[in-house]
Structures are given as C-alpha cells and as structure tokens.
Structure 1
Amino acid sequence: MFPNTTKFLVVDDFATMRKIIKKVLTELGYTNVEEADDGKTALPMIQAAHDAGKPYEFIISDWNMPGMQGIDLLKACKADPRFKSTPFMLVTAESEQKHILEAAKAGVSDYVVKPFNSQTLKGKMERVYAKHYPSAKAS
C-alpha cells in the first residue's frame, strides 16, 4: 500500500464528499491530504506543487464538476509528462460502460462508483498501488 506520507489531492465540487474521502484517507493513516473544488482549481495546484518540489502522489477526483470535469483533469494530467505517471482515481455516480471505457482510454488508474465505503476505497487504492508499483510487496 502507499506510504503514510503520500501526498493526496481530493477534487470534488461537493464539500461533503471531499470530507468523506478525506476522513477515509485519515482512517487509513494518510494525513497529507489537500482539497480542490473542481478541475479548474486543481490543475494549477498540481502544477504549483510539482514546481515547488512537493508533487501530489495520488489524485482522487470526482467526474462531474462545473468548471473542469474530472475526466478533463485526468486527460490534462496524463498529457503532461510531469504528471503522466501520477496515480489518478475517478469517483463517479456514472457506471455506464462508455464512461468506464473513456476513463480507461484516458489513463485512469481506477475508479470508484458512488456510493462507496472505506473498504471499497482501500481496495481500489491497493489495486492502484499494485498497478503502479508492480515490484513492491503488498503490505
């Protein structure tokens, strides 16, 4: 699993959902969690954190947001060599096959369908870790 020092960015236009995800991450032992309320806010934060030498190591973003949707934030991150390998998880109420395919094509690490519980998020994070760090032993 990811080290407890992993730096997370949680992106969601709904403050309650950001709090829920942050609470789950805290329960899992992660304390370095920052928030953004949409992709338009998140992208400059991602760039600034990288430029400051403290990049986000895992991005969890809602799909449906005003300003810039999560899928567009994902595409922007994957198009930039600096963020291409950053684990990126989409959280969505959409479970339609076309959305899942679009996210997979765009390079999403995994996705979580709302509603979800802490065990579901933890399981998805473990899968992302195994995908991004295949030689690491599961802890």
Structure 2
Amino acid sequence: MPRTCLVVDDSRVVRKVARRILEANGFAVSEAADGQQALESCRASLPDCVLLDWNMPVMDGLTFLKSLRAEFGHDNPPVVFCTTENDMAHIEAAIANGAQEYIMKPFDEDILTSKFAQVGLL
C-alpha cells in the first residue's frame, strides 16, 4: 500500500508539480487549496505526510500546522514546508511549531526527494 501525502498549496500549478514528483516516487497524493481544507482532510483521513505552503487564503500554513499538532501530536504526520518565505524567522517558527523540514520555492524533484529522504519518508 503506497504512502499518502497531502499537498497543501493555493497554487494549482504547484500542487500539480508536487503531485507528479510524489506519485513518481510511489506516493498516493491528495490535495488541498488552503489550511482549512487540509485540516478537514486530515480529520477525515490522516496522511502519512504533508507538503505545506505558508501563504494561503482562509488558513495559512503556520496556523494549519499549529492546529494539526494540537489535534494529532507533535510528530505525526511529518510536515515539510514548501514556501517562498526564506528568512530565518519563518524557518525557525515552522520548526518550532512542529515542521520536520523546510523547502524553498521554486523546487525540483531532486530537492523534494532529498528533503523527504532526510525525514525518512523516502
């Protein structure tokens, strides 16, 4: 049975690119366009991991991460941020609130798969 990954990003293009890379690496992928949709998706069926954008409408990535951790615990599921926010304050806030890794956009297959490997997902 393939591992599942929830890709959370308000950009359809980013979701499509991430889906293509993850499916090529054996993941079953679901998508959400904002943090609220993602939280509802996790409540319905918790994925094995989450690839998460920061800046989204309705609920941003950090708010989603805090809600996810409050409901499901500090380490489950693993969360990898994937965002244009590249300053240390954002990275530190993500890690402090339970993200396992942080990827800068734009990303490619090598970057994504190496970060997933670092957190034990590949």
Deviation of 1:29 (Å): 2.4
Show structure 1 runs of 5+ residues with no match. Answer: 50-54, 131-138
Partner of 2:6: 9
Amino acid in structure 1 at the alignment position of 2:42: I
Partner of 1:99: 90
1: CA distance between counterparts of 2:9 and 2:92?
A: 21
Aligned length: 122
Given that 1:89 and 1:110 are in contact with CA atoms closer than 8 Å, whether structure 2 keeps it comes out as: yes
DSSP-derived class of the 1:90 partner = strand
Deviation of 1:82 (Å): 5.5
Choose from 22, 26, 31 the match for 1:25. Answer: 22
Deviation of 1:18 (Å): 0.2
Choose from 84, 87, 97 the match for 2:78. Answer: 87
Deviation of 1:20 (Å): 0.4
Deviation of 1:80 (Å): 1.5
Partner of 2:107: 116
Q: Deviations over 1:82-129 (max 9, x none)?
A: 674211111110110100111111010101100111000000000111
Structure of larger gyration radius? 1
Given that 2:5 and 2:48 are in contact with CA atoms closer than 8 Å, whether structure 1 keeps it comes out as: yes
TM-score between the two structures when normalised by the length of structure 2: 0.93
DSSP-derived class of the 1:26 partner = helix
Show structure 2 runs of 5+ residues with no match. Answer: none
Choose from 32, 35, 38 the match for 2:34. Answer: 38
Given that 2:100 and 2:119 are in contact with CA atoms closer than 8 Å, whether structure 1 keeps it comes out as: yes
Query: Cα–Cα, structure 1 residues 83 and 42, in superposed 2: closer, same or farther, change >3 Å?
Result: farther
Given that 1:87 and 1:109 are in contact with CA atoms closer than 8 Å, whether structure 2 keeps it comes out as: yes
2: CA distance between counterparts of 1:83 and 1:99?
A: 18
2: CA distance between counterparts of 1:122 and 1:86?
A: 17
Partner of 2:119: 128
TM-score between the two structures when normalised by the length of structure 1: 0.82
